[in-house]
Amino acid sequence: MKAIINFDQGTAGSLQPEVKTAIDDFFRNWEKGETAKWMRIYRQSKEAFAELIGTTLKNVAGIPNVSTAAGLVASALPLGPGSNIVVSGLEFPSNVYPWMALQPRGTRVRIATSRGNFVPISEFEKLMDENTTIVAVSHVIFSTGYRYNLDDLVDLVHRVGAFLFVDAYQSAGAIKINLTEANVDFLCTGSSKWLLGPPGAGFLYVDERVAEKLHPPVPSWLCVSDVFDLSPKYLTELKGAAKFETGTPNLMGYAGVMASIVKIKEYGIENVEKRILSLTQWLIEELVRLGLEVITPREKDQRAGIVVFKTKTEPLKVIHRLREEGIIVWKRGDRGVRFSIHFTNREDEIDYAVKTLRNFSERGLL
């Protein structure tokens, strides 16, 4: 059996040995009933993520996934008569359905039209007006690999007084994000892709000034000032992102993702980004040499770890043939094959993938 090479990190990141060890340790502590240690791990994981994206703990809540984050924010928005929400036409459903669920309440969802591998900022601008409450967009588009400049989005959205909601599932952990500099209102991510953790242990960033204006309608026992007051008589809501906490978290998952975030931080997020962009540049150049149409931008500041190319044959056949050779990739779009490359992937793995693709090309299988 051939060794498996994960070039589908944008679907499921490779669990590192440190993550598996942390999960084993969690189960040992669980059996000992060490409750205080469980909650300390949860807090430390949020602190680690906050540091990774250039913010502080008070601005980060734990959430299971992007759908939950978008749903929580959607339910807390100050929606008035005639309000509208603008979303990208290339969003993953997790960043579309929660906003669409507001339509029965009279809120319109406007979908910005894509142009090739991304939705130009001008298309968002066409749909925005004084009644726009929030604009929702992925930092890196899952199906094409295009990366937005957050500063450009912030400037546009704040110009009309709307909030900006960023789905960073395909960027957090792969490229540097500094929310001290990028003045976004909301940013969320899950744990199981570029953060290299187990599923169900994600994060939601909420700008502290925005958090003061919003009040999620379903408070949990973790969003109050004294979580150990088990005979509550009134709700004293915490300030900051903590008011978005959803209840007892996936503690096992947070033990695992904390270990992976520590690994990323030790390597250095700048070094992670540099390595990813170097490996993907290598792959892009080889794909171009094979005469294949690369959908992902070649400019380094417009991409991250995703590289998508179009096949001349049925893409699922290409994907299955690659899997037979031990190379795991996935399909995106009508004819797209997506490689998702992390800093944990090795040069010899890229070399093997390139040689395999070249062989396929020579045999007319691409």
* Residue 86: predicted pLDDT: 98
* Residue 49: predicted pLDDT: 98
Residue segments in the chain with a per-residue pLDDT below the cut of 70: 1, 225, 227-228, 233-237
CB within 8 Å of 59: residues ≥ 6 apart: 50, 179, 205, 206, 207, 208, 211, 240, 241
Distance between CA atoms of residues 77 and 83, nearest Å = 10
* Residue 215: predicted pLDDT: 87
* Residue 311: predicted pLDDT: 94
* Residue 2: predicted pLDDT: 76
Q: Distances from the Cα of 296 to the Cαs of 265, 293, 327, in angstroms?
A: 27, 9, 20
* Residue 271: predicted pLDDT: 98
What domains sit in the chain, N to C, each tagged with a CATH number?
17-266 (3.40.640.10), 269-362 (3.90.1150.10)
Residue where the block lists tokens 């940013």: 187
* Residue 340: predicted pLDDT: 98
